[in-house]
Each structure stands twice: as C-alpha cells, then as structure tokens.
Amino acid sequence: MMSNEFTNPYDFTGQSIVITGGAGILCREMARALVTCGANIAILDYNLEAAQQVVDNLLSIPATGKAIAVKANVLENVSIQAAVEAVLVEFGQIDGLINGAGGNKSEATTSPDKTFFDLPQDALRWVFDLNLLGTIIPSQIIGKHMALRKEGVILNVSSMNAFRPLTRIPAYSAAKAGVSNFTQWLAVHMAQEYSSRIRVNAIAPGFFITEQNRFLLTDPGTGELTRRGQSIIDHTPMGRFGSPEDLNGTVLWLLSPASAFITGIVVPVDGGFSAFSGV
C-alpha cells in the first residue's frame, strides 16, 4: 500500500509559501492553486496595493490556506529581510519560495527604429537585475532560513528564452539563461553544503500573454496577433498560448513531496515549442 505522502502529494496544509512578484498574472494563479491546496501564501510585491488585491481575491475563494500581502523590493536585501520577518511573524516558518519577480521592458527591446546598438544601458541593466538579481537576492535571504531548518523548496521562474534566445529581447533572454544556470548551481550548493532536503528547481514557461510581453504579441489597437505572435503560434505544436493555470500541475509537483528526489532541473511548460524544429 502506498503511503499518504504519495497518494495525497498536493496537500499543502500547514505549509507556508512566499511568492515574489506575486501580483503578476502567472504568480497570482500559482497562489490561487496553492491556497486551494491548503497552503499559507505570502504575496510579496513592490506594488502593495496590487498584492493586496490578489490577497483579497484569494480570501474570497473556498480554501483552507491563508494569505497576506507584503511590500518588498527583490533588489534590496533590507526590504526582503523585513518581508521575511513579517512572514515569520504571521506564519512561523517558510517552507517554499517561488521567485516569480521578473519581466521585460520595451526600452530594452530592439525594433525597426531601435537597433541593438542603440539599446540604453540603464534599460538593459533594469531587465537583467530584475530577472537575475531579483532571483538571487531572495534566494540568499530565504535560503538561509531554509538552511537553518535543513529543509525547504525554492522554485525559480526561467523562460523558454533560456532554451532558445528569441529575437529582439537580448537582456531578457540572457537574464533568464542566468536564472536557469543559477538554479542548477544553487541546487547543488544547498544539497551538498546544507541539506539534501533543500531542493531548487525551475519552470520555463513557453508563451503566455502577460503585461510585459503583450505589446510584442498583440496589436494594441485591434487585439489581433502581431507577426511575432502568429509566428509563435505557428511554432507551438499545441497551437495556442499558455493559460496561467497550465503552470499549476508543474508548480505543485515541484513544490510537493512527489518530487522529493528531484533538484536542479528546469522544466519546460511550453506546448511543445522547445521540441519543434519548425519542419
């Protein structure tokens, strides 16, 4: 007979999960899935009002988990430390971290009117810092808490751009490649130096329409797909963009005991994009 650990792997009752960038489209759906499974969720976001709106929505659905909103800047150690202290006061411990903060910026994107050579350094740095340092810094602070407890799960959000860099977005592609590499490095480091019960993995979403990429994929006037958006659909065997809930199965699996012997991997959730050669 199989133990309850494997027959009910997605019962997160009593588990506390921190989600950075938690007010974003994809992260708010992850939060909803986790709260529904009983988890206590801390929505960390630079925009506290948006984070509180997510929490209000979470508290309105039938669920056993709790949720709180905490203002935090993932690029500032002091800010993340203060957020962690607030979470510990509320929940007592942190069992999981989803590094969801990230995004692209139009100023760091090439276009017919703006070549690679014209991209401003401050825009490139903004994208690189948010995606890579915005993953490393929370992992340092919350990872230290996990190291003291000898257990925990960190789930990073990489991108399909880390597998195949896309045209027009050099900073975002490079930063997400860094997130994938850092995921592997941290997985080894935590397991060897602190505890094999601390796991670090990542998901690599394919193409989901978010506020950061909407301007690239759809025409703001008509709502129709741009040439780039149509090209993505043509190269995605499933023939559609992802929906936020498409990430839930992989997220719950990687945070749960069902993946207890899995660390250091980056899982594509992409409708087959990474498997398709185009022919």
- The answer to whether the CB of 126 falls within 8 A of the CB of 173 is no
Alpha-carbon distances, residue 91 vs 39, 205, 252 (angstroms): 11, 29, 20
DSSP 188-225: HHHHHHT-TTEEEEEEEE--B--TTTHHHHB-TTT-PB
Contact, 12 vs 37, CB < 8 A?
yes
172 carries an active-site annotation? yes
- Cα torsion angle, 255, 129, 205, 200, sign: negative
Cβ neighbours of residue 23 closer than 8 Å, sequence gap 6 or more: 43, 45, 47, 50, 51, 53, 54
Single-letter residue type at 31: A
Q: Tokens for 93?
A: 């411990």
Entry field: residues in the chain? 279
Distance CA 36, CA 46 (A): 24
Q: Residues 195-212, buried b or exposed e (16+ Cβ, 10 A)?
A: beebbbbbbbbbbbbbeb
Q: Which residues are tagged catalytic?
A: 172
